[in-house]
Amino acid sequence: MHEIRAEITANVWQVSVDEGQLVAEGDQLVILESMKMEIPVITEVPGVVRELHVEPNDVVQEGDVIALIDES
């Protein structure tokens, strides 16, 4: 499992994928908002989204797990 983690403290503005969805390298998973800036969170590995740990309007801290991607 590959962990996708927040790089900054931010609000979750939009979730672009669903659990069970197949994603490719570079696909956008979530958009974070911090200080009026939109920060896309992308996956660096292809696979299936096994777990989403956020939903819109959540607040994430730097290092929080956003999603788990199953590469198998």
DSSP 8-state secondary structure symbol assigned to residue 33: E
DSSP 8-state secondary structure symbol assigned to residue 8: S
Residue 44 confidence (pLDDT): 92
Domain that holds residue 49: 2-70
For the chain, give the percent of residues with pLDDT over 70.
Answer: 100
Residue 72 confidence (pLDDT): 74
CB 9 within 8 A of CB 39: no
CATH number of the CATH domain containing 51? 2.40.50.100
Tell if the pTM clears 0.95, that is, is over it: no
Model pLDDT for residues 37-72, shown as the tens digit of each residue:
999 999 999 999 999 999 999 999 999 999 999 997
Q: Using the Cα atoms of residue 31, residue 13, residue 6 and residue 39 in order, give the sign of their dihedral.
A: positive
Q: In total, how many domains does the chain have? A: 1
What integer best gives the mean pLDDT of the chain? 96
